Amino acid sequence: MAGETILVVGGAGYIGSHMVKDLVRADKNVVVLDNLSRGHRDLVPGGVFVEGDLGDSTLLDRVFSEYKIDAVMHFAAYSLVGESVESPLAYYRNNISRTIELLEAMIRHAVRRFIFSSTAAVYGEPESLPITEEHPCRPTNPYGESKLAVEQLLADCARAGDLQYVSLRYFNAAGADVSGDLGERHGPETHLIPLVLQAALGEREGIQVFGTDYPTSDGTCLRDYVHVSDLTRAHLLALQRLTSGGNNAIYNLGNSKGYSVREVIETARRVTGHSIPTVASGRRAGDPAVLVADSGKIRGELGWKPRYEDLQTIIETAWVWHQREAQRKKNHRSETAVDLQVPAKD
Ligand code: UDP
């Protein structure tokens, strides 16, 4: 195959599937590896698909031998804070051990370039805002710990001369591909914007607002929502940096503007025209009051510029997707019902 070949691990997930689309559009050869434990085969928009797990070293060797992989993008991780508090070992195994197995396979096959999906959860409770990459990293949950541990081992491997990497610390990934063909499909769903839109669709009764006594203007948490396609664009820039011999780097990815939970709900009401009932609830464990990125570093060094900065646009793209998803689920239910009505053959 002519051109660069990128292995996208976790390419059937939310951000990974958008990445595959962007890479295909950028004329890269794409190989997707996903165990489909949380991803969806029908969301992979192109490339070669390999179903399998990072724990399977024979499979990894086969993938690296069969395709001449130039770089790896790693999206396959568990990413729910609450779940990580309840099941820390599952997080450490999946997010750290499996990444070590992936890196070992890369090193066996002399593949050097690695782009890692990290998170704002590595910072913990912010001491100063907006958060720069120099802010101390003191995660407050196993999810953040697991991502920070991988960043540490990437730095060590790079020092040992084994790889070059860029680690991208996402703030709140949101929105959907503007085509409406790709978007967020989690089961169970725990993220604010999809939950709010499901409530608008009548799939949920309403939304619990976790914490109304935070020291913010309206008492609810502020988050920095960044469009998924702006995240994938940053990966392309990171890839270019590594391909042209740039140094290892860590970058924040956010819009540098915080929106409160209430502002998100209000904006979704405007976009959807639905009322979206809310109930004030207690704080969710481990939620910092405010998480807002300073992403000046990636803007300055790689020229990253988000295209979908305002919350309304982000929610509009997600709304198109969620309406389609609702239709898909409805069609699926009626097909299943028809199947059940077909009399069994003798
Ligand atoms: N949130 C909420 N109700 C919900 C889900 C989330 O009030 O049903 C709040 C949550 O406490 C946080 C913000 O919405 O302040 C964003 O949460 P999300 O889970 O989307 O992302 P996170 O910040 O945990 O990565």
Q: Whose CA is nearest to atom 6 of ligand 1?
A: 192
**Residues whose CB is less than 8 angstroms from the CB of residue 236 and which lie 6 or more positions away in sequence, other chains included:** 22, 23, 26
Average pLDDT, the chain: 95
With the most atoms of ligand 1 within 8 angstroms of its CB, the residue from 78, 117, 191 to mutate is 191
Q: What is the pLDDT of residue 342?
A: 55
Q: What is the pLDDT of residue 345?
A: 47
Task: Give CA–CA dist 106/25, Å, rounded.
Answer: 25
51 φ, ψ (degrees, to nearest 5):
-90, 125
pLDDT for residue 344 is more than 70 = no
Which residue intervals of 1-51 are DSSP H helices? 14-25
Give the residue numbers marked as catalytic: 143
pLDDT for residue 338 is more than 70 = no
Q: What is the pLDDT of residue 340?
A: 55
For 68-111, write each residue's pLDDT tens digit. Answer: 999 999 999 999 988 999 999 999 999 999 999 999 999 999 99
Band (pLDDT 50/70/90 cuts) for residue 273 is very high
The answer to whether 291 and 222 have CB atoms below 8 angstroms apart is yes
State percent of the chain over pLDDT 70.
Answer: 97
3 CA distance to ligand 1 middle (Å) = 40
- Top pLDDT among 201 and 338 is at 201
pTM recorded for the entire structure: 0.95
pLDDT for residue 346 is more than 50 = no
**Domains plus CATH for the chain?**
5-261+267-273+279-326 (3.40.50.720)
pLDDT for residue 150 is more than 80 = yes
**Residues whose CB is less than 8 angstroms from the CB of residue 22 and which lie 6 or more positions away in sequence, other chains included:** 229, 232, 233, 235, 236
58 CA distance to ligand 1 middle (Å) = 39
